[in-house]
Structure formats: structure tokens, C-alpha cells
Chain A
Amino acid sequence: MSAPVLHLDGVTRIHGEGETEVHALRGVSFRAHAGELVAVMGPSGSGKSTLLTLAGGLDQPTRGTVRIEGEDVGALGNAGRARMRRTSVGYVFQAFNLIPALTAAENVALPRELDGEKSRAARRLAMTALEEVGILDLADRYPDAMSGGQQQRVAIARAIVGERRLILADEPTGALDTDTGEEILRLLRARCDAGAAGVLVTHEARHAAWADRVVFLRDGVVVDESGADPVDDLLEPEAAR
């Protein structure tokens, strides 16, 4: 099998020190390959968002390494990580993190523009992404004039705009009704079928079931995995435990 797009190896993340020390992740190994959608489930506080922020280079592990397409994210430096987030990694936050002063289209186009794309071209890409999430008609609205579900779709459009090779989504269906939630999963699934690697954090088993693999976290440890690739397990038994 080809090298994973995302590879966490023995990753531990400890917040704080001494008495107040919190072990958010303890020696987690995790991979997502091109074309694969992996769901992460677990109780509140089990480390799901921590795993995702580490994968997206938004946070650094206390121990262990995070590699994206073979590159050690820790060794990239801040500028390198920022560039990686603008180009190859799309991130949907648990809170949508839209910029209130920008319209939907401008929010989606921003990462492309920051990366030096001409505004016309960036807007064109943004419109395509907004169309994919079904809210092209809201392109010129500001976030405060949109419903929670609509804002969430803008956030998703921003994460898929352009050619993202890794899409990380933290509860992307939280504010959506059943039908819209399912549409978003269809979209994520299609992106992965087209060759991206995807990681989806969700509380909903029904949504996790769209993934090729479901990883269960508890207290910062991977306790179980369903639909695991048996070949991978043989090669790296600790990753499945």
C-alpha cells in the first residue's frame, strides 16, 4: 500500500504541567491513506479534536511525530505549516471560525488568495466549492445573516476549495438537519473517492458509517477500530490497538 497521506506515530499530547497535567493523547498511532475516509469517535474529552489539530499542524505533539505526505510537520516551521494549511490541508473546525467581515464567497476564497492566487481565480474556485455544498445563492451574504447550518456549509466549502489532499473535519454535521448532514457526508465521501484522504470526527454512528474505517478513542488512547485494513494491522499491530 502507498504511504499514508497522514501518519501519526506514537503521538502524545500533554496539556499543562504537574498537578494540572492533562494527557489529551497517549501514544496514538493513526494513518489515513489517499482515497480513504476515516472516522474518529469517542466520548467528550477523549482527544478527538486534539488528534485533528495535531494532524492539521495547528498544535504540536509533546512526543511522537506527525507526517503529511511524508513530511514531518514539526520540522516544517510556522511558515511551512501555514502554507500547508492554505494549500494541501482543509480543516473544518468544531466552531466554524468564519470571518464575520467577509461574505461567504470571500471566506471560502481567502485561503486561495493568501496563497497568492489572483482574486478572480480564487473567487471562481470559491463559487465552485459553494455550489458543491449547495449554497451558491448565499455567496454574497455575511455569516451573521446565515443560519448555523448555512455557516457550517460555508466552512466546509472553505475546507474543500481547490485541490486539498487531506480534509480534516471536526463534527462537520453538528448544526445540520438529517438531510443536509447526509449531503455533506456524500460530499466528503466523493472527495475521498476522488483521491483525498479524509478524517471525520463525529458523535453520530450513522455518519461515522460512511467511513472506510472507524477509530474509537477513549481517554487519549485508540481502544478499537472497525473495518480495519487487515494487511495494515499485520504490518503495524500497535496502530490497531
Chain B
Amino acid sequence: MSIRQAMLALLEDGPMYGYQLRVEFEQRTGSTWPLNVGQVYTTLSRLERDGLVEQVVGEGADHASDDAGHVVYRVTEAGRGEVSEWFTTPVPRTQPPRDELAIKLALAVTVRGVDVGTLIQRQRSATMAALQDYTRLKRSGRAATPDQPEDLAWSLVLDALVFDAEAEIRWLDHCEARLRRAAVDGVRRDARSTPDTSASTAPDRSVR
């Protein structure tokens, strides 16, 4: 996961303490991927262990909250190198993230007794409802009139969610059409073979 790189990238902007990092991250991503403070501190201590960040001692940090005893971190030279490498290297697609829906559908069309048609319809409604929510967020709130760079970042993250949901709905439509075609072909095949020995196939059951 890219929390490590994200923390490093934020620290490039200036020294910060853990809670600040979390706030800054959520400003830009609209708490789409909520971070708990514990995760932030674990990441920071690993980064420190690897020599990518270091604690700021005494002077150097001009945050008033330093006096409140927060541990402030800054990025090291090695850390800067890692950030720049992250930004110049594409995110790999060789190992696609596990897609629960794709796996669910792959099993639904093969395991007996699953009503694939209903599964697809329910999923489409749920994804459409999420898409409606993202769209509401896009047309109101700070993403609608982004005047800060963080607001623009958040509205772009929202766009990513929108395109994602849209792609999922398009894929579901596609699956539905393919299954219906497969079911029609299946019926034709069944009609050619003897009726009493032909077992119904999973796609057949998907037709309502």
C-alpha cells in the first residue's frame, strides 16, 4: 500500500507530526481511505528505522504545537529519493488488486443454484446508489468549487471513484448481456440433445 510513500510525499512539503499528516492526507483524499493515527505512527517509525525520515529536535520546526510535545518528523535525503522515484514510476498493473465482485461473479456463474441475474441487478443498483452519492458530493461542497489545491485534489479523487463505479456498472451490463446470450445458446444446445439427459447450466438460471 502507498501510505508509506504518501506520508513521505507530504513530509516533502515541510516537517509535520503524526496527527497533522493524517489531517493533510484526508484533506486531499476526502477521507475516502480513512487513516487511523496508529497506522500513521507505525508507518513513521518504520520510515525512521529505514532512514527515510528523522525526528526534528528543538529548533528547525516552527510549529507552535511543538511545545505541546508532538514529535515532528522531516524527510531525509534518502526519503526524498524514494518520493521522487514514486512519482516517476507508474503504479504497476501486473498484479491487479483483488476484485471481490469479479471473483464473486466468477463463482456465481459456476456454482450451482445461484441466481446470477438477481446478483447483477442488486449490485448494479448498489453501485448506482454510490455513484449518485459521489455525484452529489461533486456538485456541492468543497469539490464543486475547488479554490484550494487540496479541494482540487479531492475533486479528482471523487472523479476517480465516479469513473470506477461507472466502469463497474458498464461491466455488469456487459456480463448480463453475455450471460443472456450464453443462455440462449445453451437452450439451443439443449434442444438439439435429448431433453431428459440435458442438465441446465448456470447461465440458464440467470435468465428471469
Chain A 194-241 residues near chain B, CB threshold 8 A: 204-206, 208-212, 214, 216, 223-227
Q: Do B162 and A209 touch (CB < 8 A)?
A: yes
Bound form: Cα–Cα A2–B156 in Å: 38
Q: Are A205 and B139 in contact (CB under 8 A)?
A: no
Complex Cα spacing A43 to B129, Å:
19
The answer to whether A186 has its CB under 8 Å from any CB of chain B is yes
Checking B129, B163, B177 against A226 with a beta-carbon cut-off of 8 angstroms, the contacting residue is B129
Pair B135/A224 contact, Cβ less than 8 Å: no
Q: In the complex, are the beta carbons of A227 and B129 less than 8 A apart?
A: yes
Q: Are B132 and A224 in contact, with the CB atoms below 8 A?
A: no
Chain B residues near A212 (CB-CB < 8 A): 132
Q: Are B128 and A205 in contact (CB under 8 A)?
A: yes
Size category of the B interface is 20 to 34
Asked whether, in the complex, the Cβ of A226 is within 8 Å of the Cβ of B128, the reply is yes
Interface of A is mostly: mixed
Distance from B95 Cβ to chain A, minimum over Cβ atoms (Å): 28
| A165: chain B residues within 8 A (beta carbon) | none
Apart from A208-B128, A209-B135, what 15 extra A-B contacts exist at CB < 8 Å? A43-B173, A186-B139, A189-B139, A204-B166, A205-B128, A205-B169, A209-B131, A210-B135, A214-B128, A214-B132, A223-B121, A223-B208, A224-B121, A224-B124, A226-B126
Some 5 contacts from A to B, beta carbons below 8 A apart, are A206-B162, A210-B135, A211-B132, A216-B121, A226-B124
Would you list the 7 A-B pairs with minimal beta carbon distance, nearest first? A209-B135, A209-B131, A226-B125, A226-B128, A205-B169, A205-B166, A206-B166
